[in-house]
């Protein structure tokens, strides 16, 4: 049974196909620790479920080489940027040391989308990925932008309601409502557990 948040906004119901899916774990970095904390267990559970279903996992890191290479993000966030080489830019300990396997990739990005100026699209195409499952932070910025771009690029998108988070519930709900209306199937740990085990 789906969570109440999933049921509230979903317009369509579908399970990912493990044979053509990839998991995108967005920006689980120390900078976002306070936002990550409430969803950490669900993130780890989702990663485990996908691995058990032989779904490839890709992690992203958001960072800038300096405050001058951030484009519009520097205008929007001014001095509140994640600079490469700082503690804030590193993956949270629960992900960095215990989770990422040698064969799993970390995609470095400098804007909201995990596809922009990265080779993520080529990597997904090369391994036959047609569906993506999106988890991580922040729901309304990097997760939503990545999900929308994946959809535009022709991927079927599954978006987690309980393994994504942002600064407040209003923004969380707004993203879920928008994505469910025209871009993504909403999932949570419970639905993934049932759907992936059935395949």
pLDDT digits (tens, 9 = 90+) for 144-191: 999 999 999 999 999 999 999 999 999 999 999 999 999 999 999 999
**Structural domains of the chain, count:** 1
Domain that holds residue 80: 4-198
Structure tokens at 196: 């992936």
- Name the 3-class secondary structure at 26: strand
Looking up residue 17, the CATH number of its domain turns out to be: 3.40.50.850
Which pLDDT tens digits describe the chain residue by residue (199 residues)? 356 555 677 678 899 999 999 999 999 999 999 999 999 999 999 999 999 999 999 999 999 887 777 777 877 877 788 989 999 999 999 998 767 998 999 999 999 999 999 999 999 999 999 999 999 999 999 999 999 999 999 999 999 999 999 999 999 999 999 999 999 999 999 999 998 877 5
Model pLDDT, residue 32: 97
d(CA 24, CA 21): 10
How many degrees, rounded to 5, is the angle at CA 155 between CA 151 and CA 156? 85
Give the H/E segment covering residue 144.
helix 144-152
């Amino acid at each position: 049974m789906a969570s109440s948040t999933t049921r509230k906004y979903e317009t369509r119901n579908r399970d990912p196909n493990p044979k053509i899916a990839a998991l995108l774990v967005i920006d689980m970095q120390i900078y976002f620790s306070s936002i990550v904390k409430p969803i950490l267990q669900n993130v780890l559970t989702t990663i485990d479920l996908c691995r058990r279903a032989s779904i490839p996992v890709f992690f992203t890191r958001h960072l800038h080489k300096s405050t001058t290479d951030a484009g519009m993000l520097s205008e929007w966030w001014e001095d509140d940027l994640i600079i490469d080489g700082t503690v804030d830019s590193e993956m949270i300990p629960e992900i960095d040391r215990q989770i990422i396997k040698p064969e799993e990739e970390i995609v470095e990005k400098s804007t909201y989308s995990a596809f922009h100026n990265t080779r993520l699209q080529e990597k997904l195409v090369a391994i036959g990925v047609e569906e993506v499952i999106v988890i991580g932070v922040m729901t309304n910025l990097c997760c939503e932008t990545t999900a929308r771009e994946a959809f535009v690029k022709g991927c079927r998108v599954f978006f987690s309601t309980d393994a994504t988070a942002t600064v407040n519930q209003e923004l969380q709900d707004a993203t879920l409502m928008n994505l469910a209306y025209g871009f993504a199937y909403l999932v949570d740990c419970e639905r993934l557990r049932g759907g992936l085990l059935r395949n």
